[in-house]
Amino acid sequence: MKRSLFFILFSMIMLGVTFTVLRNDRTLKSQLTHWYTAQYEKYIHPDRKTHGFGKYSHGVSFNGDSRHYGIDYALPENTKILAPTHGTVTRTFKNKLGGNVLEIREADGTHYQWFMHLNRYEVKAGDTVSWRCHRTIW
């Protein structure tokens, strides 16, 4: 159970981190990818990773940009997700490619995290979330 929670928490943190590098140069993205791979990928079952950093291989693009700034993992349906950081839920919405999406603004106010393909939400816009309180966002 602890390993599963670590996996989920770590996955969400990494997702948040990837969105913070959206507008940075290739060097930073390369360093982040190397750091992630060297430090933490060993904890996550390799069969769970469905897509990493880099270009989409199946022709998907967003606003003409085919780069993928996140790390995607396949988890069993109804897997609970803990908020990976302290912040505020800014919105929930439906997206053609992302399904049910939840956005959290981190406490510093400059970084956002997106959680996509959720079955449902257990929080709403304006709610404060934190990994410390063990409150699930889904």
Q: Where are the domains of the chain?
A: 2-133
Determine phi and psi for 87, rounding to 5 degrees: 180, -170
Q: Label residue 27 by pLDDT band (50, 70, 90).
A: low
Q: Is residue 24 scored above 60 in pLDDT?
A: no
Residue with structure tokens 């933490």?
A: 40
Q: What is the pLDDT of residue 61?
A: 67
Q: How far apart are CA 9 and CA 82, in angstroms?
A: 6
Q: Is residue 23 scored above 70 in pLDDT?
A: no
Secondary structure of residue 94 in the 3-state scheme: strand
16 vs 116, more confident: 116
Terminal CA-CA length for the chain: 17
Share of the chain above pLDDT 90, in %: 13
Q: What is the mean pLDDT of residues 84-92?
A: 89
Q: What angle do CA 74, 78, 79 make, to 5 degrees?
A: 60
Q: Is residue 83 scored above 70 in pLDDT?
A: yes
Q: Which of 65-69, 72-76, 103-107, 111-115 has the highest mean predicted lDDT (pLDDT)?
A: 103-107
Would you say how long the chain is, in residues? 138
Query: What's the predicted TM-score (pTM) here?
Result: 0.57
Structure tokens at 119: 């079955």
Secondary structure of residue 83 in the 3-state scheme: coil
Q: What is the mean pLDDT of residues 123-131?
A: 89
Q: What is the mean pLDDT of residues 74-92?
A: 84
Domain 2-133, second-level architecture: Distorted Sandwich (2.70)
